[in-house]
């Protein structure tokens, strides 16, 4: 009888361990699906999957406390019009245009409710909704910083920084309040199809 009890306890413990491992694997898979490449980058930075999972969960919790709202269509169009003007300036003053593009992107993020004062916090909160363009945002910021540090940057690098900022800008501006239920039962998609 005692051997039977020991065997049952061992089987139960093994089953619990297997269930815990499966649950952890599912949790990591869900985080990887949500955060994409940001998950792997966070694992590398944190040094372990467990620490990365905690960091990403903390980000999500902080993000959920923010009041991030879609832009109304008029405001979104105003930002698009301003972006076109910034792009036109690139020909004559590429570095200044990249800096202006970043300022406009930060303004749009702030209007939506994202934090904008601290780069790390802004990037972390942006990663929750837009992890797929986060590497582009970081690359744009690195190029802009190199220009600020050295005073010179290759025009091609600045052009790429502008494209990186444009990808993030399009995503942030593309989510407008007209992309939600209209009150008459009609729905539009969350991503604005007018994105250019």
Q: What size, in residues, is the chain?
A: 196
Name the most confidently modeled range: 15-24, 26-35, 50-59, 182-191: 50-59
With H, G, I as helix, E, B as strand and everything else as coil, classify residue 71: strand
Give me the chain's average pLDDT, please. 83
Asked whether the predicted pLDDT for residue 186 surpasses 60, the reply is: no
Give percent of the chain with pLDDT exceeding 70. 88
Location of structure tokens 């790390």: 120
Write out pLDDT tens, residues 93-148. 999 999 999 999 999 999 999 998 888 889 999 998 888 888 899 999 999 888 88
Regarding predicted confidence, which is higher, 79 or 27? 79
Regarding predicted confidence, which is higher, 139 or 32? 139
What pLDDT is recorded for position 177? 58
What pLDDT is recorded for position 53? 86
Residues contacting residue 87 through CB under 8 Å, at least 6 positions apart: 97, 101, 162, 166
Over residues 166-178, mean pLDDT: 81
Per-residue pLDDT band at 182 (split at 50, 70, 90): very low
Regarding predicted confidence, which is higher, 162 or 35? 162
φ/ψ (deg, to 5) at 71: -80, 145
Asked whether the predicted pLDDT for residue 47 surpasses 80, the reply is: yes
Q: What is the DSSP letter of 185?
A: S
Determine if the pTM surpasses 0.85. no
What pLDDT is recorded for position 153? 73
Tokens of 38: 């940001």
Write out pLDDT tens, residues 64-86. 999 999 999 999 999 999 999 99
Show me where the domains of the chain are located: 2-65, 73-179
């Amino acid at each position: 009888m005692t051997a039977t009890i020991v065997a049952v306890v061992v089987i139960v413990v093994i089953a619990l361990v297997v269930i815990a491992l499966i649950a952890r694997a599912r949790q990591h898979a869900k985080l990887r699906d949500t955060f994409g490449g940001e998950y792997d980058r966070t694992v590398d930075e944190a040094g372990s999957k467990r620490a990365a999972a905690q960091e990403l969960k903390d980000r999500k919790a902080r993000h959920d406390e923010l009041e991030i709202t879609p832009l109304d269509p008029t405001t979104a169009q105003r930002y698009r019009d301003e972006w076109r003007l910034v792009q036109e300036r690139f020909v004559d003053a590429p570095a200044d245009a990249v800096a202006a593009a970043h300022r406009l992107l930060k303004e749009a993020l702030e209007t939506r409710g994202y934090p904008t004062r601290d780069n790390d916090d802004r990037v972390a909160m942006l990663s929750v909704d837009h992890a797929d363009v986060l590497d582009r945002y970081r690359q744009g910021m690195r190029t802009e910083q190199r220009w600020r540090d050295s005073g010179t940057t290759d025009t091609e690098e600045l052009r790429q920084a502008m494209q990186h900022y444009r990808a993030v800008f399009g995503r942030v501006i593309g989510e407008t309040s007209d992309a939600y239920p209209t009150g008459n039962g009609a729905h539009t998609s969350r991503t604005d199809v007018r994105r250019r």
